[in-house]
Amino acid sequence: TALNTVIVGLAGATLATASFNALAAQTVSVGHTTSDNSHYSVGVDAFKKTLEKLSDGEFVVEEYPSGALGGERAMIEGLQIGTIDTVITSTGPLGNFVPETYVLDLPFLFANYDQARCVLDGPVGQDLLDKIGENNLVGLAWTENGFRHLTNNVRPVKTPEDAAGLKIRTMENKMHMAAFEEMGVRPTPMAFPELFTALQQGTVDGQENPISVILTSNLWEVQDYLSLTGHVYSPAVMLASPVLWDGLSEEEKGWFKQAAKAGAEATRAEVSRLETEGVEALKEKGVEVVENIDKSQFQQAVEPSYSVYTDQYGSKMLDRIRNSE
Ligand code: EAX
């Protein structure tokens, strides 16, 4: 009958609407290597809240912490082929994809957090995000890992001479490796998810990371000594896959950028908090902390590594950063 047709038609329409809504809620994966109580994870929470609110539930954010989607280099590759939607990564392996970012990895480039954040939030940071965008990746916002400090299991390190001869895991970053070589350290590049076991098994004597990472990835469990060298600022960046990006409207792209910025702010606040509170926490956990480091000695030791950068990339970006002080 006609009535039946109307009822069936209505039911069909309701079903169609329901499945349309289900389809419309798009899941967005966020990968990172640190734990689910880390500074990155605090940033993911803010990103999630902001994006889900701005999009009124159109996007649902799902976090994959602790290297669940691989190390940082592998995740960046995942973005390029579209198997991961977004990633928070240090600049560690990024220079392999976007060489312009190597400038940020030079030791003792930034004197403090304010300066680093200011440069990344300014024209230099924007230009580098644009460069990232020219390499089959999308740079959403600069966020933060923090100043890196040296840990090891052999002896308390107070001077570059103390560090000489140690086998230290570094990121897969040629600027970092060059700096450590100048210090007389034997750099061993390795993806972060392999680090804990490598320290535990003694494959390497030590590593270097910000306080937030040393604390929340439990590296203190397998390291005896921490030296507050602050030898290099470690930027982080939130990246998106071009596969995701190309399917978004301009409005949606704006939401992602705004959410990434909110995430970065939350992460920076957490890095700042842990920079002091985290050191106390590590002492309580039994780590011997060498606090009064004469940084100028380390700075002098690694200075020759700057030519590794300038020989290949010139000094224009370096000058821009120095002049924006
Ligand atoms: O981005 O590889 C590292 O040591 C990084 O600092 C860590 O993955 C967080």
pLDDT, tens digit (0-9, with 9 covering 90-100), for 82-110: 999 999 999 999 999 999 999 999 999 99
Mean per-residue pLDDT, 292-317: 97
**pLDDT confidence bin for 252, thresholds 50/70/90:** very high
Is the separation of the CB atoms in 292 and 175 below 8 Å? Answer: no
Residue 248 per-residue DSSP state: S
> Ligand 1 centre and the CA of 169: distance in Å?
11
**């929340």: which residue's tokens?**
216
- pLDDT of the residue at 46: 99
Q: Pocket around ligand 1: residues whose beta carbon is below 6 Å from it?
A: 33-34, 72, 89-90, 92, 145, 171, 192, 209, 213, 234, 236
pLDDT of amino acid 2 = 52
Return the best residue to mutate from 234, 237, 238, 267 for the ligand 1 pocket (most ligand atoms within 8 A of CB): 234
Whether the predicted pLDDT of 64 surpasses 50: yes
- Provide the pLDDT confidence category of residue 117 given band limits of 50, 70 and 90: very high
First to last CA, the chain: 80
Percent of the chain at pLDDT > 90 equals 92
Q: What integer pLDDT is reported at residue 15 of this predicted model? A: 47
What are 136-183's pLDDT values in tens digits?
Answer: 999 999 999 999 999 999 999 999 999 999 999 999 999 999 999 999
| Cα dihedral 262, 264, 265, 270 sign | positive
| Ligand 1 centroid – CA 210 distance (Å) | 9
CA–centroid distance, residue 13 to ligand 1 (Å): 50
What is the mean pLDDT of the segment spanning 36-46?
98
105 vs 302: CA distance, rounded Å: 12
Which residue CA neighbors atom 5 of ligand 1 most closely? 90
Residue 217 has what pLDDT? 98
Q: Which ligand 1 atom minimizes the distance to the CA of 67?
A: 8
Which amino acid is residue 221, in one-letter code? E
pLDDT classification of 231: cutoffs 50, 70, 90: very high
Look at residue 325 in the predicted model and tell me its pLDDT.
56
What is the whole-number distance in angstroms between the Cα of residue 133 and the centre of ligand 1?
Answer: 22
Q: How far is the CA of 76 from the centre of ligand 1 (A)?
A: 13
Nearest CA to ligand 1 atom 1: 90
> For residues 321 and 183, is the Cβ–Cβ distance under 8 A?
no
Nearest CA to ligand 1 atom 6: 209
Nearest-atom number in ligand 1 for the CA of 234 is 6
- Whole-number Å distance, alpha carbon 285 to ligand 1 midpoint, is 21
| 207 Cα–ligand 1 center, Å | 10
From CA 132, how far away is CA 120, in angstroms rounded?
14
pTM of the model: 0.93
Please state, for a pLDDT cut of 70, what percent of the chain lies above it: 92
Residue 23: what pLDDT? 57
With bands split at pLDDT 50, 70 and 90, how would you rate the model's confidence at 324?
confident
Query: What is the mean predicted confidence (pLDDT) over 117-138?
Result: 98
Q: What is the mean pLDDT of the segment spanning 35-39?
A: 98
Residue 215 pLDDT exceeds 70: yes
Counting from 1 in the atom list of ligand 1, the atom nearest the Cα of 208 is 4
Section 127-140 average pLDDT: 98
Residue to mutate, 209, 233, 267, ligand 1, most ligand atoms under 8 Å from C-beta = 209
